Amino acid sequence: MSLAMSPDFSRYQRIEARRDGRILHLSLTAPNPVNAVDGVMHHELSRIFLDAQDDPDSDLVVLTGAGRAFCAGGDTTWFKQHIEDHRTFRAIAPEAKRIVTSLLEMEKPLVCRLNGAAAGLGATIALLCDVIIASDKAVIGDPHVKVGLVAGDGGALIWPQLLGYARAKEFLMTGEMLTAERAHAIGLINHVVPHDALDAKVAEIAARILANPKWAVRWTKVSANIPLRALAAQVLDAAMAYELVSNSLEDRAEAVKAFVEKRTPNLTGD
């Protein structure tokens, strides 16, 4: 029996936690309809998976989004702040790296309940989970390039490992969003089910995992993630540095402005 104290999940503002037996359910709850990431959520994402790992009262974690979206990437208001003051973007680099590394270092099995759109960082977080179960209403993609950013906060790491380099680079360079059915067909996610069957499928997979000896499951996951952790150590610093540089470019500012104004950007190549 563990004598460790349970983390205080009540301190999180953008992530809600509840337990169902030995399952810890985490739900992203941004104050916007698509769970877009702001500064508070980004900070909390860099710590939630550490707390989930340390939680002595759970053996499996289910991650989902509240409402109609899983996580639609960065919030445009937050984007504007980073463009106006590049120091604010530089300041979140350690958090961005910790989000990825904490996901890869977590020993407990992590099931993604992909209830809706997952884009950019949202897609990275979903794809770094161990089993991804999607609603047929979900879409997933990494459109960093569409808002003038390098996909440096995990997208360039995980997409090639799941799809191979040719297909991954196509999707990362076009920023295309994929339906859940297409994502399943190409091996990006594990399962796609009708939306009203999502909870049942998540419960089924969770039960099948929990039916096995705990440490065999955990350490199998740890072993499978060894190459990913090594690759992250090679890739993340440079990829995030490129992303930081791309945030300062003129086309970045124009891409975000055009996105907000719902028009085609006037790109100059600068």
For residue range 182-214, list pLDDT tens digits in order. Answer: 999 999 999 999 999 999 999 999 999 999 999
Number of compact structural domains in the chain = 1
What are 22-51's pLDDT values in tens digits? 999 999 999 999 999 999 999 999 999 999
250 is a domain residue? yes
Pick from 76-90, 183-197, 217-231: least confident: 76-90
99: Cβ–Cβ under 8 A, 6 or more apart, which residues? Answer: 42, 45, 46, 49, 121, 125, 153, 154
The answer for residues whose C-beta is within 8 angstroms of residue 164's C-beta and 6 or more apart is: none
Question: Looking at the whole model, is its pTM more than 0.85?
Answer: yes
Q: How far is CA 6 from the centre of its chain?
A: 24
- Tell whether 270 is covered by a domain: no
Q: Is residue 1 part of a domain?
A: no
**Residues 131, 169: Cα–Cα separation, whole Å:** 22
The pLDDT tens digits for 225-253 are: 999 999 999 999 999 999 999 999 999 99
CATH number at residue 246: 3.90.226.10
Q: How far is CA 252 from CA 12, 90, 132, 258, in A?
A: 31, 15, 31, 10
Domain annotation covers residue 2: no
Tell me: pLDDT of 3 over 80.
no
Q: Which domain holds residue 80?
A: 9-261
